Structure 1
Amino acid sequence: MGRNTRKRRTPLATKIVAGAAALAVGGGGLVWANFYASAHEDHGGHNRTRSAGAQVATIDCPDVGQKIRDVPDRARGEVDGELATMDSQITNAYQRLATTRRAQAGDSQFVQNSILGPLKDRRKAIIDRIQLEINRAGGKADDNLDELAGCQGRPADQQNGGGQDDGGQNDGGQDDGQNGDGQNQDDNGNGVAGPVADDFVDINDVQPNSRNSRNGLAANGDGGSTGTFATDCGVNENNLFNSDNLIAAPGVDNGAHHTHDYVGNQDNDAFSSDEDLANADTSCQNQGDKSTYYWPVLRLQDGTQEFDANDQGGGAEGNIGKILKPAQAELKFVGSQQGDVVAMPKFLRIITGDAKSFTNGDANANTSWSCSGFEDRQVTDKYPLCPEGSQVLRTTNFQSCWDGQNIDSANHRDHMAFVQEDGSCPEGFQAIPQLQVRLAYDIPTPTVENGQVQNPYAVDSFPEQLHKPITDHNDFINVMDEDLMNEVVDCINRGEDCQ
């Protein structure tokens, strides 16, 4: 497969992380002494109890970016760059966690003293710089951001918010995550952290209409503006991939630490300006739609060495295996239950879902997973096991309430909101066309036996997020020309189905 080959700068922080990652690569993936085993496992014909809750599986850091408000425009670029460096620090610390298991086994304070303590100091330095940058630009930085510097070691089976200050080390037992013959457990045989058997569910075991849909509510309904507008932008036939994030980390190479699929705009990387986007080619059939639509790739962990097997964002950060393109990508805009919609401003940016939901919690989780023929059964925190002939479905309904002023915000969320339970927008927001993305994949169903999953599929993720399905997310930048946006709005408000 090809990839985006546009020449880009390589920041110093990225070079440092790349060096650390190179030491952590084995067989195309991040070396991983896995700590995912359930409390009772059968290995070698006997049952063994493990203290999984006492093992550190990943690093849980407060998300500073989501806590930042009212950053002056002229400080936005610097602040986003600092936050991206903070992500690189977490990646580096996680890689050290994954490659020092034997040292951890011999020293109960190793994680705290050698990984979490230094990480806190580095994060504190960045937070200080962020506060200084905001204040210099005429803003008022939150004095309490320093409280977010510390991170915790988190066991794999622990719910968000309960990490251990001592690094989570136990005093004995299976500290190195290996069984008697020296093989890693629960790593699916490929040496990377996740997904694991518990991340999958048979779609037949999901109760119909059981998903909590407080986020991602469909905006349209029987009343209001009932039309739709579909745009066909393909399934990334041009092989446009990179591990940047133009919205959250503009100007930062590998700002996402995982690889994205792109459809629509063909000049989308961390260094693309609004002018670049406006002048770019598009994969959309309607050439007036130069919007960019992107999401983390799905991979089948089958041993395939992809083009990025040794690259940042790919195998060097635990994202390995065959990239799976959607068999179909449906992009549709719908209306509001409560009345007409208004036009989106050009270059409006929307992030939906949360790439860090495993450690942040599920407040911003959004994507629904299902199987064709079972669309009334939706899950957010599990990958579905679909019966033969059924496709894996990945569906996202974006926020559809806009503050009427800003095309972005400091945390890339506050300028947008979801509709309320009655379909109306919160006070001060107005309804815009809601983007709905439905991706369908032809994926061989993984086999789950004896607590192990063979040939799993998973979303690319930040290394410390362990490929959890709840971390799935979706991104959009509106680059429709004015005539097309007016056509979309008119179609939806007239109650017609257009494309």
Structure 2
Amino acid sequence: MGRTTRKRRTSPVTKALAGAAALALGGGALVWADFYASAHEPGPSQHRTRAAGARIATIKCPDVGQRLRNVPRGARAGVDRELARLDQQITEAYARLASTRQAQSGDPDFVRNAILGPLKSQRSAALERIGTDIRRVGGTAPKGLGRFAGCKGMGAGRPDGNGGGGQNGGGQGNGGQNPGDNGNGNGSGAAGPVAGDFVDITTVEPGSGGLPNGLAADGGSGSTGSFTTRCGVNENNLFNSDNIIVAPGVDNGAHHTHDYVGNQGNTAFASDQDLAGAATSCQNQGDRSTYYWPVLRLQDGTAEFDAGDLGGGAEGNVGKILKAREAEIRFVGNKRGDVVAMPKFLRIITGDAKAFTNGLANANTAWSCTGFEDRRLTDKYPICPDGSQVVRTANFQSCWDGRNIDSANHRDHVAFVQPDGSCPNGFRAIPQLRIRLVYDVPAPAVENGRVRNPYAVDGFPEQLHKPITDHNDFINVMDEELMDEVVRCVNSGADCD
């Protein structure tokens, strides 16, 4: 099956990252599975290395992008490039962490001196450049940016970002399973998921699960209609590892591969005008919106088209890409009142690709199985019974500040409804986007603390393929007539398709 690909631009930083990834891989992708185990040496040294892996599974760094609130528009391009550079630096450091387990076993200060120390220096320089970019256009750089330079080692057990320890790591946190505890990972060639990341959906209590984000906006006596747009399931095989919202103009800004439906011009280098003029996979040609999410993979050893690429196998995203059998894209209303039209080119990110290390503030995941959708999981992948399919659901923010199509941290211009269905002060209700994806996934086998043929979302390497990192992205590129129709349907109580 063909894949839509493009020639990648290669910057010095990208070359350095490729080198670090190659070092971690050591010439064979399956070395990724050994991140938390020994170099196959028997005896006491093996146990020491496993102990080192248990102390530090990954690297936790402050997410600077989410802390920047007032970046002048003239500085945003430069700041976004530096933020992407911070992500690359973490990926490089994580690759070094993964490839030096033997050295770590013999030196308790190795991680601090050889990995976290140099990383802090690199991040300090990038943070200084962010301040320079802001001041260059007359802005005021946030005070104390340098305090975000330091990173910590972190265990593998908690998705709330608090399971790590100090500079030499810490415990696993809340009783979680370390990838090193299941015997050389899961054998897939990726750093996670592990057996503890899966649960049999039939053992989950009905009505359980769910995060405070993603509250339902429709229902009540307000706007009760809906509008469904049909854009397929990526039959055109449009994939890339760019991040057009967070890292515009940066190749491989996501460090993981996305599925795209709707707009067919999606790359990190596309302008709003490019998107407006692009083709669309949506049946209604007035909808050139871009809908995208990290691909779901079956870690079965399949060499996909990106097996050797950054964003793919070179960064631990391995195995067969599973295309959704259904992709329902639906807009609904607000239970307190009418909605207003979304502005063209409005950008919304829901969920957090770094929720494992960032914490749950922006996490918004809902995993389930068909026939069991009253049972939602946030930090576990479901194992579905025979005849049932895996379901990923994303309910987007449905309140808009009435002015901006984006914000410096890509979040402040939109908000979730409050528990009573109202929007925060100064925000207006807009149609809530809901994306429901259904997949045929062979059920993974969990035996003796190990998982075979697991499935997982693509992610930043240091996030260990945790389910809590699932996320979804949207750019509104509907023409004005179609957006007006969406609003009419939602506000009138009609269900339009």
TM-score grouping bracket, smaller chain normalisation: over 0.9
Q: Does 1:152 align with 2:181?
A: no
- Shift in alpha-carbon separation, 1:36–1:494, aligned structure 2, 3 A: farther
The amino acid of 1:486's aligned partner reads D
Distance (whole Å) between structure 2 residues aligned to residue 237 and residue 335 of structure 1:
29
Give CA deviations for 1:219-266 in whole Å, capped at 9, x if unaligned: 101310000000000000000000001000000000000000000000
Q: Is the 1:35–1:55 contact (alpha carbons within 8 Å) kept by the matching residues of 2?
A: no
1:496 matched residue in structure 2: 494
Q: Does 1:303 align with 2:304?
A: no
Q: Give the equivalent residue in structure 2 for 1:173.
A: none
Counterparts of 2:312 and 2:7, CA distance in 1: 18
Say if 2:163 is the partner of 1:165: no
CA distance in 1, matches of 2:385, 2:408: 43
* Within-5 A mapping of 1:88-237: 88-158=88-158, 160-168=161-169, 185-237=183-235
Partner in structure 2 of residue 322 of structure 1? 320
The answer for unaligned runs of 5 or more in structure 2 is 172-177
Query: What displacement does 1:4 show?
Result: 3.8
Match of 2:424 among 420, 423, 426: 426
Per-residue deviation, 1:185: 1.9
Paired residue type of 1:35: Y
Deviation at 1:53, TM superposition (A): 8.5
2:378 aligned residue (371, 377, 380): 380
How far the C-alpha of 1:151 sits from its partner, in A, is 0.4
Aligned to 2:477: 479
Instruction: Give the Å deviation of 1:27.
Output: 3.8
Find the residue that maps to 2:34 and give its secondary structure. coil
Per the alignment, residue 289 of structure 1 pairs with 287
What does residue 59 of structure 2 align with? Answer: 59
| Alignment counterpart, residue 461 of structure 1, candidates 459, 462, 471 | 459
| Amino acid in structure 2 at the alignment position of 1:290 | R
Tell me the distance in 1 between the aligned counterparts of 2:441 and 2:166. 41
d(CA) in 1 for partners of 2:407, 2:168: 35
Does structure 2 retain, via aligned residues, the 8 Å contact 1:2–1:241?
A: no
Note the C-alpha offset of 1:51: 5.1
Could you tell me which runs of 5 or more consecutive residues in structure 1 were left unpaired when the two chains were aligned: 38-42, 171-175
Partners of 2:37 and 2:373 in 1: CA distance: 30
SS in structure 2 opposite 1:89?
Answer: helix
Matched residue SS, 2:216: coil
Q: Any idea what the Cα deviations from partners look like across 1:178-205, whole Å, max 9, x if unmatched?
A: 89xxxx8241113321000000011012
8 Å Cα contact 1:20-1:95 kept in structure 2: yes
Deviation at 1:22, TM superposition (A): 2.1
**Residues 389-419 of structure 1: CA distance to partner in whole angstroms, max 9, x if unpaired?**
0010000100000000000000000000000
Show CA shifts across 1:282-340 (max 9, x none): 00000000000000000000110000000000000000000000000000000001111
User: Is the alpha carbon distance of 1:178 and 1:326 closer, same or farther for their aligned partners in structure 2, counting shifts above 3 Å?
Assistant: closer
Distance in 2, matches of 1:294 and 1:122, equals 31
Residues 52 and 105 of structure 2 are in contact (CA less than 8 Å); yes or no, is this contact kept in structure 1?
Answer: no
**Segment of structure 1 superposing worse, 141-150 or 96-105:** 141-150
Q: Partner residue of 1:78?
A: 78
The question of whether the paired residues in 2 share the 8 Å contact of 1:11 and 1:252 is answered with: no
Q: Deviations over 1:32-52 (max 9, x none)?
A: 434389xxxxx99xxx99758
Secondary structure of 2:144's partner? helix
C-alpha RMSD over aligned residues = 2.2
Q: Distance in 2 between matches of 1:260 and 1:30?
A: 24
CA distance in structure 2 between the partners assigned to 1:228 and 1:321 by the alignment: 37
CA distance in 2, matches of 1:227, 1:13: 48
Question: 1: distance between equivalents of 2:61 and 2:405?
Answer: 28
Q: Return the alpha-carbon distance in structure 2 between the equivalents of residues 438 and 177 of structure 1.
A: 30
In structure 1, C-alpha distance between the alignment counterparts of 2:179 and 2:414, rounded to whole Å: 43
CA distance in structure 1 between the partners assigned to 2:170 and 2:332 by the alignment: 50
- Displacement of 1:281 in angstroms is 0.3
Q: Which has the higher helix share?
A: 2
Q: CA deviation at 1:161?
A: 2.8
Closer/same/farther in 2, CA of residues 54 and 433 from structure 1, 3 Å limit: same
SS in 2 for 1:130: helix
> Using a 3 Å threshold, how does the CA distance of structure 1 residues 168 and 309 change in structure 2: closer, same or farther?
same
CA contact 2:153–2:166 (8 Å) conserved in 1: yes
- What CA distance in whole angstroms lies between the structure 1 residues aligned with 2:110 and 2:187? 27
Work out whether residues 154 and 170 of structure 2, in 8 Å CA contact, stay in contact via their aligned partners in 1.
no
Alpha-carbon distance in 2 for matches of 1:327, 1:141: 47
Matched, 1:410 2:408: yes
**Structure 1 contact 153–163 (Cα < 8 Å) conserved:** yes
What letter corresponds to residue 190 of structure 1 in structure 2? S
Query: How far, CA to CA, are the matches of 2:68 and 2:185 in structure 1?
Result: 36
CA distance in 1, matches of 2:75, 2:391: 39
Q: Which residue of the partner structure matches residue 175 of structure 2?
A: none
Q: SS state of the match for residue 31, structure 1?
A: helix
Structure 2 CA distance for aligned equivalents of residues 269 and 477 of structure 1: 13
2:170 and 2:336 mapped to 1: Cα distance? Answer: 54
TM-score, normalization by structure 2: 0.93
Q: For residues 335 and 128 of structure 1, what CA distance do their matches in structure 2 show? A: 44
Q: 1:338 to 1:29 in 2, by over 3 A?
A: farther
**Residues matched between the structures, number:** 482
List structure 1 segments (4+ residues) > 4 angstroms apart after TM superposition: 48-54, 176-179
